[in-house]
Amino acid sequence: MNDPKTSPPPQPRKAEAAPYHRGPAHSSPYPVSRLAGPIDLVETAREIAAAEQIVGVRTSAKLQVIAEQIRALQEQARRVLEEARSDHELHNARCGFRRMPGKTYHLYRKPGGELEFSLLSPADWRQRPPNAFVGSYRLEPDMSWTRL
C-alpha cells in the first residue's frame, strides 16, 4: 500500500514551518531569480533609517496641528468664560424695571461701584447723566447681552 513510487511526498505538519517558500515567486521573502540583485544589509539599514525619519517628521507635523487646535480651543474657551462672566455681571446689575429681550438698556456705575440699568441714554440726560455711563446693551432672546 505504501509504495514509494506512487505515494505523494509527506506534507509538513502544521506546527512546523515549511523548509522553503511554497507560494508564487512574486510573494517570496527572498530572491528566487538568479537575475535578482544580492541583498545589501547596509542599504536595507539606510532605507529603514530613512523610513523612521519620515515617520518621525509626519508624526511631529500631526502633533503640531493638534497642539494648534488645542490652543485655538483654549482661546475659544477663554472667550466663552469671559462672555459668561460679563453676562452674569450684567444680569446682576440693579434694575428698576422688567427686562425684555430685544430692548436696549443703558448701564451706569454709581459712585459706590454698583451697576444700574436705566432706560435713559446719556443723550436723554443731555450728556450729563447723574452717574458714570458704562455702555448701552441689548438683551438677546437667549438672555445674553450685546454691547452696542
Domains in the chain: boundaries: 39-89, 93-147
pLDDT in tens, 83-96: 999 999 999 999 99
Dist. CA 142–CA 86, nearest whole Å: 14
Dist. CA 115–CA 109, nearest whole Å: 5
Which set of grid coordinates corresponds to residue 4? 514509494
According to the model, what pLDDT value does residue 15 have? Answer: 47
**Does pLDDT of 97 surpass 70?**
yes
Calculate ∠ Cα 28-31-32, nearest 5°.
80
Dist. CA 89–CA 112, nearest whole Å: 16
Whole-model pTM? 0.56
According to the model, what pLDDT value does residue 37 have? Answer: 66
Dist. CA 38–CA 120, nearest whole Å: 92
Average pLDDT of 63-77? 96
27: DSSP letter: G
**Does pLDDT of 4 surpass 60?**
no
